[in-house]
Amino acid sequence: MAAGHRVVATGRRPDRVEQALGAHDDLLATRLDVTSPSDADAAVAAAVRRFGRVDVLVNNAGNSYPGYFEEIPPEHMRAQIETTLFEPMNFTRAGLPLMRGQRGGHIITISSIDGLAGLEFCAAYATAKFGVEGWMESLRHDVEPFGIRTTVVNPGLFRTEFLAEPSKTWPRPSTDDYAQRPAALLPAWQGKSGAQPGDPAKLAASLVTLADAADPPPRWIVGDDALATAEAKARQLLAQVEASRRSGSGLNHPPFERQEERTAETVTARGRAR
């Protein structure tokens, strides 16, 4: 709002959103349970009634179920994917018809550096965020012909409440083989809460700048830790490409025309044999 934008701020308790931000002519606080497609449709409809259009849609909700894959209950894995992947899909699906009609808009989805590089103890979260990456990269090609831009944001660790309850559900070890490892990992993870290096206010300000850009980037990696991780993953991927080239190339079928010619020759030869 300070930058001159009209803002639709959503939450499960919109009265708390408005209380935190204060009443303002350019603010609409409306209800959104991120797992509810009907809430997403209603939030977009409320935005149109109030402001007439939606130019920027930001998917930012998330949670985390850390743990080793074997020990993550199936219901937690499903809940992780429901909130972190299907929620932004629901909300984007609700907003896309409007943006297509406008022939313009910008969809920004907050992913994570964990969407580019998997980490120990993060199987559920990385699974959902890797899904976000593939969805957003493909969505870009779907909607660019309508003047709609997309940006996936890969932040590192920023000093939000993401590592605190209730955003994160800490696991209970259930397998002897894994029992000792969380003893070192859990205190390290829990100790990061409130001590992350990134400043969320600076990130928010830069997101406003990103939303105003005439030609926004399809990917935006933010935070020194995220940049270092992404660079290391890029080098690792290039090394894997080169290692694969030795045995992974030259595996194509012969060109289709040659196969067709061989088939014709075989039929002719058989005909002569008869």
* Predicted confidence (pLDDT) per residue in 76-108, tens digit: 999 999 999 999 999 999 999 999 999 999 999
What is the reported pLDDT for 96? 97
Predicted local distance difference test score (pLDDT) of residue 271 = 57
Does the pLDDT at position 46 exceed 50? yes
Catalytic option among 65, 68, 125, 178: 125
Domains and CATH numbers, the chain: 7-222 (3.40.50.720)
**125 catalytically annotated:** yes
With a CB cutoff of 8 Å and minimum separation 6, the contacts of 176 are none
pLDDT at 142 over 90: yes
The answer to whether residue 159 scores a pLDDT higher than 80 is: no
pTM here is 0.84
Which residues, 6 or more positions from 19, have their beta carbon under 8 angstroms from its beta carbon? none
For residue 196, give every residue at least 6 positions away whose Cβ sits within 8 Å of its Cβ, in sequence order, or none.
157, 158, 159, 160, 163
Q: What is the pLDDT of residue 257?
A: 57
> CA separation (Å) from 28 to 6, 47, 92, 245?
8, 7, 19, 54
